[in-house]
């Protein structure tokens, strides 16, 4: 029993000593972090923002929950125009800050970095979070109004660009369709030309046919072109013969009339009642 108590006492002493050492190490790290923070602040005042951000990063390496170091590092990165890298530092401050005003300032700066990155929706959300922690901050309220205005303009421009893209795509489809129809008409025209060439070629072949056949064909064509007497009409030869026949008859008749005149007129007999 005494041995067990002895072991327990020794264990408590060792554990306590380790805890004390850990606390001492933690205090030492915090002191070192504060020292690095002050160095960073001096560099920041001299506008040596890159060197200042390095000092703040080292401070966070010694104390990861050091919200002042993360906030100041965010400011140094912001001043170096590294807006996207500054945002996570402000978010860390907003998460670890113990008072509302520090969180409000962190969200306000997140909104500013979002504005510089043209992420207007993110800026609107950040400024709203800042006002939730500090409703009396007029500067944040003003920045929120500006962010909303820019967000509306961005959404409108994106909508117009989308409509323009849709119109361009429709015009392109129409142009492609017209070009396709033109190619189709061109191919058809080429086919017609080929057909005409073929017809001309066939015509040349016809011109090279047997001359005897052509002579016969011309003769037949000539006969076909010669007018045929229509039914009920006389040919010139028939008319001529008829006229000659009538002249002969007329001569014979005239001859008889002359002979009768020579014998005297015939007397008309009166009727006996």
pLDDT (tens digit per residue) in 199-208: 555 555 554 4
pLDDT (tens digit per residue) in 33-85: 999 999 999 999 999 999 999 999 999 999 988 889 999 999 999 999 999 99
Q: Which has the closest alpha carbon to 52: 79, 83, 73, 82? A: 73
Residue 268 covered by a domain: no
Domain containing 44 — which CATH number? Answer: 1.25.40.10
Residue 94 covered by a domain: yes
* Residue range(s) defining the domain that contains residue 53: 26-155
What is residue 191's predicted lDDT score, i.e. its pLDDT? 65
What is residue 246's predicted lDDT score, i.e. its pLDDT? 75
Residue 70 covered by a domain: yes
pLDDT (tens digit per residue) in 143-198: 999 999 999 999 999 888 777 777 777 777 777 777 777 777 666 666 666 666 65
Range 18-30 average pLDDT: 71
Residue 166 covered by a domain: no
Residue 142 covered by a domain: yes
Residue 68 covered by a domain: yes
Residue 103 covered by a domain: yes
Residue 80 covered by a domain: yes
Domains of the chain: total: 1
Range 235-252 average pLDDT: 74
């Amino acid at each position: 029993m005494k041995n067990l108590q002895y072991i327990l006492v020794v264990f408590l002493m060792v554990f306590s000593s380790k805890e004390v050492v850990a606390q001492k190490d933690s205090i030492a790290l915090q002191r070192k972090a504060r020292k690095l923070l002050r160095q960073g602040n001096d560099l920041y005042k001299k506008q040596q923002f890159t060197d200042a951000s390095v000092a703040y990063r080292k401070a966070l390496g010694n104390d990861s929950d050091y919200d002042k170091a993360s906030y100041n590092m965010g400011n140094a990165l912001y001043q170096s125009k590294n807006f996207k890298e500054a945002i996570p530092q402000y978010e860390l401050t907003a998460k670890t800050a113990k008072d509302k005003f520090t969180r409000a300032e962190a969200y306000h700066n997140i909104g500013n970095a979002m504005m510089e990155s043209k992420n207007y929706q993110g800026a609107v959300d950040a400024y709203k979070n800042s006002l939730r922690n500090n409703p009396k901050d007029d500067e944040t309220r003003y920045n929120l109004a500006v962010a909303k205005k820019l967000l509306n303009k961005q959404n409108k421009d994106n909508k117009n660009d989308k409509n323009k893209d849709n119109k361009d795509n429709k015009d392109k489809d129409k142009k492609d369709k017209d070009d396709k129809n033109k190619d189709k008409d061109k191919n058809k025209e080429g086919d017609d030309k080929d057909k005409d060439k073929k017809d001309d070629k066939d015509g040349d072949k016809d011109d090279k046919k047997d001359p005897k056949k052509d002579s016969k064909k011309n003769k037949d064509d000539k006969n076909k072109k010669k007018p045929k007497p229509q039914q009920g009409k006389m040919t010139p030869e028939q008319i001529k013969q008829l006229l000659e026949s009538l002249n002969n008859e007329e001569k014979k008749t005239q001859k008889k009339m002359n002979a009768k005149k020579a014998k005297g007129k015939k007397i008309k007999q009166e009727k006996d009642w």
